[in-house]
Structure 1
Amino acid sequence: MHKKIQSLISSVKESGAHIFYSFENEEKYVDNLIVYVTAAIGLGNHVMIIENDRIMPELQKRIKAEFNEKQQEMIHTINNYEFYCYRGNFNKVTILSYLENMLAPFLENNIPIQTWAHVEWRDQEEIVQNLGDYEKEADAMLQTTNLITVCSYDANRVSESLKDVLMDSHDYYMTDDNIDLIDRKSRI
């Protein structure tokens, strides 16, 4: 998987990519995240990681062990609960505004950045519709910035209907062991 992630990041560094990652194994998930960060830093890019409280301690431990001080300054972490539930529930307008504000200093100063977001939500009505709308608008925003971003989802929380929606708003589908290009045209 190491080579697949590095190859993908290298191949989309100019055009950007929106990657849907459905993970099942938390250990492989963290390994893949570290490979992603390594590839980004190898290109001279900063990385913004939006992650939960449960995984963050292991992630911080790995960052400290595997990256030098200068590289660590290129890695920015945010609690995903604060990011996705800033106003108490999953609200796409609030989240997209928050994302734009976080990325603005990098984009305005031509500082290359990639993102990795572990998407989580509270149980709420119409969450599939809300997630789908959010991902479609995020995809449109990302296409104008040529960012490389991974949107990771715990496979246990992704229904078939949500997976279909997510496949329609991403360029690549990633699992713990593979990455495939999504042919959006054939999905229409």
Structure 2
Amino acid sequence: MQKEIQSLINEVNTSGAHIFYYFHDQDRYINNLIAYVMSSLKLGNHVMIIENDRFMPIIQEKIKEQFSEEQIDMIHTINNYDFYCYRSNFHKETILKYLKDMITPYLEKKLPIKTWAHVEWRDQEEIFHALGEYEQEADQMLQETDFTTICAYDANRVPQTLKDILMDCHDYYMTDESISIIKRNKAITK
């Protein structure tokens, strides 16, 4: 899968992409995240990893093992609970502002950055509708910036209705073993 990730990152490096990762296997997920970081760093990009407390220690250990000090300085991490539940629940306006505020300094300094975000949420009413709206608005923002991000979702938590929405506001569909382009139904495409 490392070759597929590297090929995709090389292909979209200057044009950007919004990638939906629907994962089943934690070990493959983490290996794919490390491959994404490696491919991004090879192109001189900073990488922002938005991840949970369960996976982050494993990821940080792999980063220490596989990357130089200089590369590690280009890898930035944030807890995904802090990112997605800043107001104690999933509030799309807050998250979109946080995302924009987070990447703007890099864009203003012309420092290339890519993100990897493990999207998680608390059980709350109307969450799937809010997630869909968030992804659609994030997609519009990302298309304006030529920014590349992977939005990773645990397949065990995603009902088919949400998966359908996510497939319609991303450029690529990624699983633990493959990457394919998405032919969108409604969303604006590049």
Aligned twin of 1:66: 66
Q: What amino acid does structure 2 have at the position aligned with 1:138?
A: A
Distance 1:13 1:78 in 2: 23
Give the conservation status (yes or no) of the 8 Å contact 2:168–2:185. no
1:161 aligns with 2:161: yes
Q: For residues 16 and 109 of structure 2, what CA distance do their matches in structure 1 show?
A: 18
Q: Distance in 2 between matches of 1:186 and 1:86?
A: 30
The secondary structure found in structure 1 opposite 2:87 is coil
Alpha-carbon offset, residue 14 of structure 1: 1.3
Q: Does 1:25 align with 2:25?
A: yes
Deviations 1:36-86 (A, max 9, x none): 000000000000000000000000000000000000000000000000000
What are structure 1's unaligned runs of at least 5 residues?
none
Match of 2:182 in 1: 182
**Residue in 2 that maps onto 1:77:** 77
Post-superposition CA distance 1:141-169 (Å, at most 9, x none): 00011011000000000100000000010
Q: Distance in 1 between matches of 2:114 and 2:145?
A: 11
User: What runs of 5+ residues in structure 2 fail to find an aligned partner?
Assistant: none
Match of 1:139 in 2: 139
* Separation of aligned partners in 2, 1:171 and 1:36: 16
**Equivalences for 1:1-188 in 2 at 5 Å?**
1-185=1-185
Alpha-carbon separation, structure 2, partners of 1:120 and 1:106: 25
The letter of the residue matching 1:18 is: H
Provide the C-alpha distance between the structure 1 equivalents of 2:100 and 2:176, rounded to a whole number of angstroms.
Answer: 28
User: Displacement, 1:187?
Assistant: 9.1
- CA RMSD in angstroms, aligned pairs only: 1.3
TM-score, normalised via structure 2 length: 0.97
Q: Is the 2:45–2:111 Cα contact (8 Å) retained in structure 1?
A: yes
Task: State the 1:104 CA deviation.
Answer: 1.2
The TM-score, its normalising length taken from structure 1, stands at 0.98
1:128 CA drift (Å): 1.1
Give, in whole Å, the separation in 2 of the partners of 1:120 and 1:132: 13
Aligned to 1:184, the other structure's residue is in SS state coil
Greater than 6 Å deviation, 4+ residue runs: none
Q: Could you tell me how far apart the structure 2 residues matched to 1:13 and 1:49 are?
A: 17
Q: Which amino acid aligns with 1:150?
A: I
